[in-house]
Amino acid sequence: MKAKHAVSLLLFGYCVDFIGAFLKILHTSNADLTLTVAAIFKVLGGLILIHKIITYPKFKDFMDR
């Protein structure tokens, strides 16, 4: 998986989070599920992005300076 896919997952999670917050304000029944799905997407995207950063070959050179 490329880093752009991880960023896309992260951004999609934030978009779904915005929709879930709007639904929560309107007191709809699907708001909790929407916020849970958004949290899963954000965590998954963040973990993949951290993994891509740590396994990048030049990361060790950057950390040694």
> Quick check: is 31 in a domain?
yes
Query: Are 19 and 34 within 8 A, CB to CB?
Result: yes
Query: What are the mean pLDDT values of the chain's consecutive 10-residue runs (65 residues total)?
Result: 89 96 96 96 94 85 71
> Quick check: is 65 in a domain?
no
> Quick check: is 37 in a domain?
yes
What domain count does the chain have? 1
CA angle 45, 48, 52 (to 5 degrees): 135
Instruction: Give the model's pLDDT for residue 2.
Output: 83
> Quick check: is 22 in a domain?
yes
For the stretch 5-40, what's the b/e string if a residue is b when 16 or more beta carbons lie within 10 angstroms of its beta carbon? Answer: ebeebbebbeebbebbeebeeeeeeebeebbebbee
> Quick check: is 62 in a domain?
no
pTM for this prediction: 0.84
> Quick check: is 52 in a domain?
yes
Instruction: Give the model's pLDDT for residue 65.
Output: 66
CA 43 from centroid of its chain's CA atoms: 5
The whole domain housing 30 covers: 3-57
Instruction: Give the model's pLDDT for residue 40.
Output: 96
